[in-house]
Structures are given as C-alpha cells and as structure tokens.
A and B are shown apart, each in its own frame.
Chain A
Amino acid sequence: MKITIKLVGAFRVGRFKEEVREYPPSTCVREVVEDLRISNFLLGSVLINDVHAGGDSMLHDGDRLCLLPFMDGG
C-alpha cells in the first residue's frame, strides 16, 4: 500500500519533508516510525488523515501520515 508521509520539524533533518512510500498491508504507525529511525523520545503526535492517532494505529492504502515532534514549553 502507498502511504504519503509528511515529516515535521527536526524529523526532516537527514530525511525528507514529504514522500510517498510503500509498505505492506496492515503496517501500523509504529513500524513506519521504526523504519524511518525516528526516536520514540522525540515523537510527539501522529496524525492520520489530519486526525490524531497512536503508534498502534493501522494504516491503509492512500493514507496521509504526519509525524510531529514533541512540542513543549515557551
């Protein structure tokens, strides 16, 4: 299945801003995060088709996955 992955902020460094990638069916978010070697410590939010989701959320063909770093403070 094809997933459009958008990376935000520091996640783009050494990777990409937005890319379409192929994954096997029933891939979950966690597996994509691992595939991209993004630190769980830095992962703040996950959006699937603009809706908050979690690491165990399953992806489907055509989904837009956005990975956001943890945001805090001022």
Chain B
Amino acid sequence: MKHFTSDPAAEPSSVVYSRCIVDLKTGIMTDEDVPCRNLEDVLGGFGRSFQILAERTIRQAYCDENPLIVNTGLLTGSSAMTGMRTYFSGYSPIKESKKGLPAAMWSAGSGNFGAKFKWTGLDELIFENRSPKPVYALIREAAEGPVVELKPADHLLGLSTHEKMMVLQKEYGSNAHFAAIGQAGEQWETVYMGAVALSTDNQLKSGEDKMRFAGRGGMGSLMGYKNLLALVAQSSDKIKPLTPEVKKVNINVVKGGGSARLQPISRGGGGGTWAAYDVLQVFHAVPVNNFRPQGNDLPEKLFRENVEPQFVIKSEACFRCGITCHNNVHEKNEDGSAGRFLAKFDYEPLNLLSTNLGIHDARLATSLIHLCDNYGMDSISLGVTISYVLSYNERHPEQPLLNRARYGEYDKIRELVEQAGQGKLPEIGRGSKRLSESTGETSYAYHVKGLELPAYQPETNPGYAWAIAGGHMSMGTYGLLTREGKSDMESWVEGITRTKLQIVGFDMIGLCKFFDITKGICTQMVVECIKSEFNMDVTAESLAAAVRRAFLRGLALELRQGYEKDEFALPAEVWEHPNPNIKLPNITSPEFTAELQKRVWEVFEPELEGLLPDVT
C-alpha cells in the first residue's frame, strides 16, 4: 500500500493499495494499484471486499463470476499486537436466503500467512473463474514488486490441510507460510462448509497440526470449486522496530483488560476461550444436545480443571502475539511431559464437537476436532449440522437419518465427520438449513439466515438475527445478557444498532478481536497504531463511522440477496419450546422479539439507502 496523505478519511483516493487479479481459467495476472474509495477501503478486509462483491450480481456461489477475494487489513503485518489477520471473501456456498441466493460472506484467520502475504507487497488477491486443473498460487516478493504464479497442485490432491502444508514447506522453506484447504474443500460439490487452514510458526517448527482457521461461510469450498488448493506467501520478515507508541499499545493489549482473560491461567489470566464453559454453566447456558441445556452438571466434565489432570495443556500463541490464547492438548507422558499433540481446545469447536453432540469425554473431543481440522471443515457448521441429525434421530427412532447416530454415540458421530469430510455425505456437508428443509423439520435447525450458530445459546442472544457473517464474529451481543445482565429493550436496541456491531471493525483492519474485544477498533490505541505505522491521522469517530458503513453495507447486501425480514430470526424451537433450564431472563419471547425487530429495523432501514451500487 502507498499513501500520499495523512488524512485517509478525507482523502482516501490518496491511499493506493496493491491488487493482483488472477484469471484462473487463462492464467493471466493483472496487477493494479487501486485508489481507495473511502476509509473502509483503507482499513481493508471485508470493508473493501464487500464493496467489490456488491458490484456483482451473483445468483449461485459456484459460478465463474463469483470471485474469491483474499486480502489483509491495514495493520496486518504491522508491529501492532495481533496484526496477523487474513480475510477470505466471496458469495458463500453454505449461507443462502430462502430464495436460494447466496449471501456475501467473509472469513478471517490468524497464523503467519497474513503477515507473509502483506510483506510480499501485495494487499489483495482476487481469483476469478476456475482453473481447469488443480493449482496452488505462489505469492512472492521480488525486486520489481510482488509476483503471483500458478503452480500445478496434483501432488496436493487428497491431502489433509496439514499434509498439504508439510509438502509445501519442504519445497518453500522457512520464509513461506501457507493457506490450504483439505479434502472437504476439494469435495466442494457435496461439502459447502470447507474451511481454509492457515499455517503457524509453531506448526511448521514442530510438525504438529497446529493450524488456525478461516472457517466460516465455506470459503474453502469456494477455493475447491475454483480448483485452487492452496496459497503460498513467500517473503522475508519485515518486522519494524517498535515505536514507543506501539510498544505502549502492545503492553496495554497484553497486560491490560483487553486480553487478560485470554492469557494462560499460569500467568494470571482467564485461560483462553475455553473458560466460557465455566461461566455459561452458571446459567445452564452451555449448549448440550443440539442447544438444549438440561440444567445438570454434564458440561462440567469438560471444564478445564477436570481435563487438565489427564493431559498436558500447552498455552501457545500466534506469531509474535503476547496473548497466548491457544490451548493445545497433548498426551501426558509418564514423566508428566507433553507427548503427542491431540487437538486445540477453542470454545466453539470444543463445545460443538463434544458437549453439544452428547459427548463428554475430552479424549473423544480431541479426536473429532482433529478430524474436522485436518479434513478442513468449519467446526461450527459441521458440529451444528451433526447435532441436527442427532436431534432428528432422537425424535424419529423408527426412521432415523444416515447411520442412525444418537447423542453420545462417538463411533457413529465420528463416522459422520469422516464421511462428511470425504464428501460422501452431502446431507451433512451442505449444512443444517438444507438438511432440515429436506426433512421438513426446520424449527430445531440451529442456523440463522443459513449459517450455523456458534456455541452461545440463541436464548441469550437475539442479536444473532442481524449478524452479517458468523454469528458472534459479526455481532458482539452474545455476552450482553450473560455477561452484562442486560435484558431490557433499550440495551438490546442500542447494542444491536450501535455499539456491538462495531466488532466487525477487527475484520477490516487486520487485528484479532482479542486486541480489545469489548471496545472495537474505534479507540485511541488503534488511532495511535495507525499514526505510528503510517503517519496517518484518523479519529476514533471516523473509524466508528467507517465500520458502521461497512456493517450496513453487509446488511444491505443480505436484503439484495433476497433475505426477507422473517429470516432475521432465531430457530423457532427457541420460542416454541422455551427451555426452562436456562437461568436467565427470557428475551426471546414472541413479544420481545416483535418489538426488537420493529425498533432495530427503524434504525437500520433508513441508513441502508445508497450503500450499494446499482447492478441492474
């Protein structure tokens, strides 16, 4: 990126980003320097990619006109703590309106790939059309600027996410990092929930499959459709010396309130996202058996304190990140040292591939997470679609689905994961919306607008209805009731329409949400990072405005892709059969919901005018 202004909000066109368009059909590469249109473009991520997607009329995800956009944010690869994010955007194979039109989606991941990509000198890569043969893309720095090449990838076909990366590492060595799909993404026709795995320093040094993921929305399946199996970003590290300002910010991020709860317990922190189990269990709001908590102590079997005696849990981090939020579970050797790596215990994959499936054994949970990660599927969509199957089978023991799996039946659940990952089970691979529509029983399919819900009970979060991408990554209301105790209408309207949508700013600027999840990016810390890294002056207000516009653009795009207002709703079971076990005020009654819908749309609708280009 080049910039010729210190005021990007007022003069965005004086900020120019570097883009390469790759026509996968012809192999032709087109390099462009693109002036930014607005501050959202400057910030990057989905803020930019959704403006590109909005310029296209896309009626099905698997079509040549649907681009895969790979980009970074302004602070990816900078010295700001957590500045590692890569974004994958396109029209989603899995998330669709009732009219059958695909939703625009983005997915984000950490690891080292993003920084290496940025350090090649490229800001954005757009893949158009499809390659006739399996390929991977090499993005490398060169004296003349970033170079993108397509390379044959037949030797990568059929390999897991991790295996692909190991093969590529042998070829490209230590100055490269990788983004790869697994077998699931290769089976795009029957798997719409393919994820993109991103390599980490830890993974490449240890040889252990400690990847990070851009999981939501099936961007890995879109890559598979395009016959694009992996990306390699090869560049020297360009780590700048820390300025006093950024150093101060980074110390605040690590030691201040923003990330303290995610630090290891041994360092006085909260122990990562796994800690959500303990907190939510107080309210009996840990998802169990397809989002129906039973009011008992079953979830406690996977509390960290009950798992730790059997395993070695290593607290590890992404490249240069001081937050150290990864909880990597290893076998415990006889001498107490760490043995074989089993799986990472982040809250979503852990809950949705164990407790929510009726599995309460940590070792079995590691096995399912490991399979999901290596086949390369979104753990949320996979887990929730399987939990739908289990729920259906419990209701219909005389005529169950698939292999008759029931809650807690590990062997049968494992078989569903493996077969889905191999592309043999489109009933699972195409997600819970389609599956439930095929059975005619949709009320207990836990998706909103076609995308499966994360592991926060919908009874605790009516804000899910307005999430424009993953349910908790694009609407930060999932703690408004449980954490903040807010059950009044004003708090929910304010949260949805103003404060909590700001979480999406992280998916523009290149920072991980753990930088400061409660405050978003419109803070003095971010202002100082941008000033220090680029000598550009922005205000917290201009950042907030840009984030808001980007969010609203996403909402407008949903409406353009055929979503009706009745689709901005929670699964019907939530209000048809309220769960008496959840110990929280009821904020999802039909009355509360109707009033919330009215109030939220009153705020949003007037602001949606003029956000999208005319594509007719």
Residues of A bordering B, CB below 8 Å: 8-10, 12-13, 39-42, 44-45, 47, 50-53, 66, 68-74
Contact = CB atoms under 8 A, between A and B. Distances in A.
Given A69-B261, A70-B483, A74-B348, A10 B275 contact: yes
A73 B476 CA distance: 9
Given A10-B271, A41-B257, A42-B260, A72 B479 contact: yes
B265 A45 contact: no
A8 B276 contact: no
A13 B265 contact: yes
Contacts of B482: 45, 71
Interface stretch (B25-33, B235-243, B277-285): B277-285
B485 A45 contact: yes
A9 B302 CA distance: 12
Contacts of B261: 41-42, 44, 69-72
B190 to A, nearest CB: 26
Nearest to A69: B270
A52 B265 contact: no
B244 interface: no
Contact of B455 (A12, A47, A74): A74
B279 A45 contact: yes
Contact of A74 (B279, B346, B485): B346
B276 A72 contact: yes
Interface residues of B, number: 40
Contacts of B517: 72-73
B513 interface: yes
B256 interface: yes
Contacts of A13: 265
Interface-central residue, A9, A66, A74, by most chain B CB under 10 Å: A74
Contact of A10 (B270, B273, B346, B347): B270
Given A44-B483, A50-B583, A73-B514, A9 B270 contact: yes
B268 interface: yes
A9 B517 CA distance: 20
B591 interface: no
Nearest to A40: B257
B408 interface: no
B282 A41 contact: no
B262 interface: yes
Nearest to B347: A74
Given A10-B269, A71-B275, A74-B346, A45 B260 contact: no
A60 to B, nearest CB: 19
Interface of B: 256-257, 260-262, 265, 268-271, 273, 275-276, 278-280, 282, 303-305, 325, 346-348, 380, 454-456, 472-473, 479, 482-485, 513-514, 517-518, 583
> In terms of DSSP, what is the predominant structure of the interface of chain B?
loop
17 contacts: A40-B257, A41-B260, A41-B261, A42-B260, A42-B268, A44-B261, A44-B483, A45-B279, A45-B484, A51-B485, A69-B278, A70-B270, A71-B479, A72-B514, A73-B325, A74-B455, A74-B473
A72 B518 CA distance: 9
Contact of A42 (B269, B325, B455): B269
B278 A8 contact: yes
A10 B304 CA distance: 9
A71 B348 CA distance: 13
Contacts of B271: 9-10
Given A74-B347, A74-B455, A74-B472, A42 B278 contact: no
Nearest to A8: B278
Given A41-B260, A41-B261, A69-B270, 12 more contacts: A9-B275, A10-B271, A13-B265, A40-B257, A50-B583, A52-B485, A72-B273, A72-B276, A73-B262, A73-B325, A74-B347, A74-B456
Contacts of B269: 10, 42
Nearest to A44: B483
B77 to A, nearest CB: 22
A8 B518 CA distance: 21
Interface-central residue, A42, A51, A70, by most chain B CB under 10 Å: A70
Contacts of A41: 256-257, 260-261
B279 A39 contact: no
B282 A47 contact: yes
Contacts of B380: 74
Contacts of B260: 39, 41-42, 70
Contacts of A40: 257
A19 B123 CA distance: 55
Contacts of A9: 270-271, 275, 278-279, 303-304
B33 to A, nearest CB: 36
A71 B256 CA distance: 15
A52 B484 contact: yes
Closest 4 pairs between A and B when the two form their complex, measured CB to CB: A52-B485, A9-B278, A71-B279, A74-B348
Contacts of A44: 261, 279, 483
B268 A71 contact: no
A8 B282 contact: yes
Contacts of B265: 10, 13
Nearest to A68: B279
Contact of B273 (A42, A66, A73): A73
A13 B472 CA distance: 29
A51 B347 CA distance: 25
Nearest to A6: B282
Given A10-B270, A13-B265, A42-B270, A73 B513 contact: yes
Contacts of A69: 261, 270, 275, 278-279
A58 to B, nearest CB: 17
B279 A12 contact: no
B483 A71 contact: yes
Nearest to B325: A73
Interface-central residue, A10, A39, A47, A53, by most chain B CB under 10 Å: A10
A26 B271 CA distance: 33
A55 to B, nearest CB: 13
